[in-house]
Amino acid sequence: GAVVSQHPSWVICKSGTSVKIECRSLDFQATTMFWYRQFPKQSLMLMATSNEGSKATYEQGVEKDKFLINHASLTLSTLTVTSAHPEDSSFYICSALPLTSGDEQFFGPGTRLTVL
């Protein structure tokens, strides 16, 4: 149980295009999902907290208009990187907090984004 998927697992895009990453909780409902970014050989940095049916809460320094988050249902949150540039190339990981047990986040497998 407690499986989180991400799609796509990797994506290569041209500079200036937008990329959407999906995060799904497959066997549980999650009112809260988290989006992290991890640069090579670095730690995970929280970008934003996504709550179903409301606006996401962004961490300081994260551009809201660049990283659009939508949490439209209890099992799906999406992160859209708008007008991507090479410096946005990174590993993006989501996690989901089960509705019924509020202690542990379950992580997705991550999405590797490369912007050319």
Partner 1 sequence: AQKITQTQPGMFVQEKEAVTLDCTYDTSDPSYGLFWYKQPSSGEMIFLIYQGSYDQQNATEGRYSLNFQKARKSANLVISASQLGDSAMYFCAMREGLEGYQKVTFGTGTKLQVIP
Out of 20, 22, 29, 46, the residue judged to bind partner 1 by CB under 8 A: 46
Instruction: Identify the H or E element spanning 68.
Output: strand 67-73
Applying CB under 8 A, what is the total number of residues that bind partner 1?
25
Tokens of 11: 């994506």
Structural contact between residues 11 and 84, judged by C-beta atoms closer than 8 angstroms? no
Out of 19, 21, 81, 97, the residue judged to bind partner 1 by CB under 8 A: 97
Using CB under 8 A as the binding rule, whether residue 8 contacts partner 1 is answered as: no
**Closest separation in Å from C-beta 29 to partner 1:** 13
Cis ω before 8 (30° cut-off from 0): yes
Site map for partner 1, 48-77, x if CB under 8 A? -x-x--------------------------
Residues 6+ apart with CB under 8 A from 28: 1, 2, 75, 96, 98, 99, 100, 106
- Write out the residues near partner 1 by the rule CB under 8 A: 31-32, 34, 42-46, 49, 51, 91, 93, 95, 97, 101-110, 112
